[in-house]
Chains A and B, each alone.
With several copies, the nearest count.
Chain A
Amino acid sequence: MIDVRLLTGPFIPGQFIGPFTNAHPGLGGVCTFVGEVRGEDGVEALELSHYEPLTLPGMQALAQQAVTRFGLMGMLMLHRVGVMRPGEPIVCVSAAASHRRAAFDAVDFAMDHLKSQSWFWKREQRGGEWTWIEPRGQDYADLARWD
């Protein structure tokens, strides 16, 4: 099962992960990563924008690619858009597989691609001022691991 969603409001990862796990009887393991908005360095809010015609289709293609490449039973991929406060989940990726290694690698793969090859633009608010975030060189290096 591939379940990919863009969410416009706060969400609780467990409410998606539980049903996702239960949808795959016979699985060996589920690896999950949840990323949250960090409040460090005085960040007051974070805004993610997307481009409707590309963002969700791109995520669906990425999830399908991960399922095929790592032989998964399923992948859950949730991503917030809009304005978020520190402590709110931004992203949740789960992979269900027969074996642990495949589940781990698939989530790692998906996260690297979500970070630097999916159609999201991020800006942060500090002291009332919004600043756009550029991708870091490290993000491209992470991505290159999968070539």
Chain B
Amino acid sequence: MSARLVFLGRLGDLVSGGELAVAPGPLADVLAALEPQLALALADERVRHALNGQLLARETAIELAAGDELAFLPPVSGG
């Protein structure tokens, strides 16, 4: 069973449908298996992460298990 990456805001434009199924594992390994351009955009230090709907503190070490949903949240612009 795979894990799911969800891309918000401008990151959603980089992947058709704004989502990607990936093999579980440490985030570094998951990113290394992606297209370099996408991996680079995701590695932007301004991008925050939410794992299964919970916002993670910056610099949290992330390990994806089967069935996990990891959201990539670029800087917001609301109102």
Contacts and interface: CB of A to CB of B under 8 A. Distances in A.
* Real binding pair: yes
B78 A54 contact: no
Interface residues of A, number: 25
Interface stretch (A18-26, A67-75, A132-140): A132-140
Contacts, number: 67
B64 to A, nearest CB: 16
Contacts of B79: 35, 90-91, 111, 114-116, 118, 120
Q: How large is the interface on B (under 10, 10 to 19, 20 to 34, 35 or more residues)?
A: 10 to 19
Interface string B42-74: 000000001011110000000000000001011
A108 to B, nearest CB: 12
B78 A51 contact: no
Contact of B73 (A51, A91, A135): A51
Contacts of A49: 8-9, 12
Interface of A: 35, 48-49, 51, 53-54, 79, 90-91, 111, 114-123, 132-135, 139
